Chains A and B, each alone.
Chain A
């Protein structure tokens, strides 16, 4: 067995992209398929730098369609396979991701959101929320972790492989260009030394024995002849998704239970939201903070509790209402009203959130 890059717990100073690459190695990922796009490139760079030393593989494909489909192929062959992309690459990748949804394949995808629509900017946005949660034709049978810190990029990349292989739904780490390029410190560790058991992959194809005689045939389909057949499969998928949703859903909240105004944000913007809320609370202003960590499934029960108590949700995001749509869908029928702080493709500071809170509270 090749050695691992991280043995004991240690603090390191890193960029987010590197963190994803190291976490993938430490999650025992076998192979990355990828096509370059800023701002995710260093995930590939660092994976390929480590690959020869730690017995990993890499395939650079001709585009993101191919990167997605080869990731699907890697998983079918029983490899812990992943890819990383952003922006227009994420758009192209929706077709293979739909196929993974249809066949319940545990592909793992790291997305570092950039400005959109189209090529837009290489730098930053939160505009790939809709695409990552519900992109492609289908029902969004996916699991999406939206990270806010480098520590979370490390923790949730490791977790994403386990979640994917445990539940067999495509799983995403949704970062952004700021997290990708930003430098901060984090603790890297060997997950197994912390008692995190890494779920082992299993091959879907090429199993020993004769199908139908020695073992049940493996039928992994993305094509159906008639409506009834598809309907039955999707009903079953939905049932299974609904059943796991409560145990998969994660959130973070602060003072959301006793505040009339609660700031709802996700990802890197929630760092600013948390800072603004903490400062105002210290100054005696009753304001809360709620952050879904999983955007799919949403932490619906907890969010509904908040929206039933609070009068107003201030939704802050670097997009025009992509998080807000998920929130509205979750809280339908609850009493809270919604006030937007939308800055598509641009960062949001704690000062801006604080000023908005003050203007709402009057």
Chain B
């Protein structure tokens, strides 16, 4: 393991379809920005670029983060599925400050990282698998370890277990238990547990497994996806 003395935070969020990659990435970018850090959020979903961050891009820029993502007018003419990487996004790792990468889903999505210049050698890059244990494909420790194994290069897990509007602290804690259990088998740390602000207030600063809790806001429902 190489010693990392850089203060630069570079995180790539990968994971199962609809696991909450974009939601976590958006919240992480805003969290770092609020600490006064320079943050670039990069939408790397190259399969369905007209979904994901496009509808909230301008709102995020107004909140002080740099966003590398398509805008509606840019996607005109791309057809139904872009399958194309924005030129600016390819060089994202060369930008100053913190870089948060929102990657397309599944194994194909995690391979998108290979398209980034410098992804193979960036000493600060951490690939974080986003896990929602309320998703049927990642609902048990066995399912989670199997799934993360398929994804390839992953450094950390994040527990993003929730049930939308029906989420309770118990559901998040059960996710924390499962994700932490999987992290032991996979031998990789849990970066955090996420929870909507009101749930995070109930849980406190640490979840039942001792992971730090990130209080998040749900932005993605505004994107219709």
Enumerate chain A interface residues (CB-CB to B < 8 A): 5-6, 10-15, 18, 22, 38, 42, 45-46, 49, 119, 121-123, 178, 181-185, 188, 347
User: A115's closest neighbor in chain B, by CB?
Assistant: B80
Q: How far is the CB of B167 from chain A (nearest CB, A)?
A: 9
B136 interface contact, C-beta 8 A: yes
Q: How far is the CB of B166 from chain A (nearest CB, A)?
A: 5
Given contacts A13-B135, A15-B18, A185-B166, contact A38 B81 (CB under 8 A): yes
Q: Are B164 and A13 in contact (CB under 8 A)?
A: yes
| Chain A residues, Cβ within 8 Å of B48 | 38, 122
Q: Kindly list the 10 A-B residue pairs having the minimum CB-CB distance in the complex, ordered from nearest.
A: A122-B80, A13-B134, A185-B163, A15-B18, A181-B225, A13-B163, A185-B164, A12-B136, A183-B18, A185-B166
Q: Are B18 and A122 in contact (CB under 8 A)?
A: no
Query: Could you tell me the distance between the alpha carbons of A181 and B51 in the complex, rounded to whole angstroms?
Result: 9
Q: Are A12 and B135 in contact (CB under 8 A)?
A: yes
Q: How far is the CB of A125 from chain B (nearest CB, A)?
A: 13
Given contacts A12-B134, A12-B135, A13-B135, contact A183 B80 (CB under 8 A): no
5 pairs of residues in contact across A and B, judged by CB atoms under 8 Å: A38-B81, A122-B81, A183-B164, A184-B164, A185-B134
| Chain B residues, Cβ within 8 Å of A46 | 137
Q: Are A11 and B81 in contact (CB under 8 A)?
A: no
Query: Could you tell me the distance between the alpha carbons of A13 and B168 in the complex, rounded to whole angstroms?
Result: 13
User: B171's closest neighbor in chain A, by CB?
Assistant: A11
Query: Could you tell me the distance between the alpha carbons of A347 and B18 in the complex, rounded to whole angstroms?
Result: 21
Q: Specify which of B81, B135, B166 is in contact with A14 (CB 8 Å cutoff).
A: B135
Given A14-B135, A15-B17, A122-B50, 19 additional A-B pairs, CB 8 A: A10-B139, A11-B166, A13-B132, A13-B134, A14-B136, A15-B18, A22-B136, A38-B48, A46-B137, A119-B79, A121-B80, A122-B80, A123-B50, A181-B51, A182-B224, A183-B164, A184-B164, A185-B163, A185-B165
From 131 to 173 in chain B, residues with beta carbon under 8 angstroms from any chain A beta carbon are 132, 134-137, 139, 162-166
Query: Could you tell me the distance between the alpha carbons of A6 and B79 in the complex, rounded to whole angstroms?
Result: 37
User: A184's closest neighbor in chain B, by CB?
Assistant: B164
Q: Is the interface of A mostly helix, strand, loop or mixed?
A: mixed
Q: How far is the CB of A90 from chain B (nearest CB, A)?
A: 15
Q: Hey, what's the 0/1 contact readout for B59-92 against A, CB within 8 Å counting as 1?
A: 0000000000000000000011100000000000
| Chain B residues, Cβ within 8 Å of A11 | 134, 163, 166
Enumerate chain B interface residues (CB-CB to A < 8 A): 17-18, 48, 50-51, 79-81, 132, 134-137, 139, 162-166, 224-225
User: A10's closest neighbor in chain B, by CB?
Assistant: B139
Q: Are A42 and B17 in contact (CB under 8 A)?
A: yes
| Chain A residues, Cβ within 8 Å of B165 | 185
User: A17's closest neighbor in chain B, by CB?
Assistant: B17
Q: Are A182 and B139 in contact (CB under 8 A)?
A: no
Q: How far is the CB of A42 from chain B (nearest CB, A)?
A: 6
Given contacts A38-B48, A185-B134, contact A12 B139 (CB under 8 A): yes
Query: Could you tell me the distance between the alpha carbons of A121 and B18 in the complex, rounded to whole angstroms?
Result: 21
| Chain A residues, Cβ within 8 Å of B80 | 38, 119, 121-122
Query: Could you tell me the distance between the alpha carbons of A229 and B166 in the complex, rounded to whole angstroms?
Result: 58
User: B132's closest neighbor in chain A, by CB?
Assistant: A13
Query: Could you tell me the distance between the alpha carbons of A221 and B41 in the complex, rounded to whole angstroms?
Result: 59
Q: Are B17 and A18 in contact (CB under 8 A)?
A: yes
| Chain B residues, Cβ within 8 Å of A14 | 18, 135-136
Q: Are A5 and B224 in contact (CB under 8 A)?
A: no
Q: How far is the CB of B98 from chain A (nearest CB, A)?
A: 27
| Chain A residues, Cβ within 8 Å of B139 | 10, 12
User: B224's closest neighbor in chain A, by CB?
Assistant: A178
Q: How far is the CB of B178 from chain A (nearest CB, A)?
A: 13
Q: Which of B17, B51, B79, B134 has the most CB of A within 10 A?
A: B17
Q: Which of A18, A42, A183, A188 has the most CB of B within 10 A?
A: A183
Query: Could you tell me the distance between the alpha carbons of A14 and B134 in the complex, rounded to whole angstroms?
Result: 8
Query: Could you tell me the distance between the alpha carbons of A71 and B163 in the complex, rounded to whole angstroms?
Result: 35
Query: Could you tell me the distance between the alpha carbons of A6 and B81 in the complex, rounded to whole angstroms?
Result: 32
User: B225's closest neighbor in chain A, by CB?
Assistant: A181
User: B134's closest neighbor in chain A, by CB?
Assistant: A13
Q: Specify which of B50, B166, B225 is in contact with A183 (CB 8 Å cutoff).
A: B225
Query: Could you tell me the distance between the alpha carbons of A121 and B164 in the complex, rounded to whole angstroms?
Result: 27
Query: Could you tell me the distance between the alpha carbons of A122 and B81 in the complex, rounded to whole angstroms?
Result: 8
User: B51's closest neighbor in chain A, by CB?
Assistant: A181
| Chain A residues, Cβ within 8 Å of B50 | 122-123
Query: Could you tell me the distance between the alpha carbons of A33 and B117 in the complex, rounded to whole angstroms?
Result: 39
Query: Could you tell me the distance between the alpha carbons of A11 and B194 in the complex, rounded to whole angstroms?
Result: 19
Q: How far is the CB of A50 from chain B (nearest CB, A)?
A: 9
User: B221's closest neighbor in chain A, by CB?
Assistant: A183
Q: How far is the CB of A250 from chain B (nearest CB, A)?
A: 26
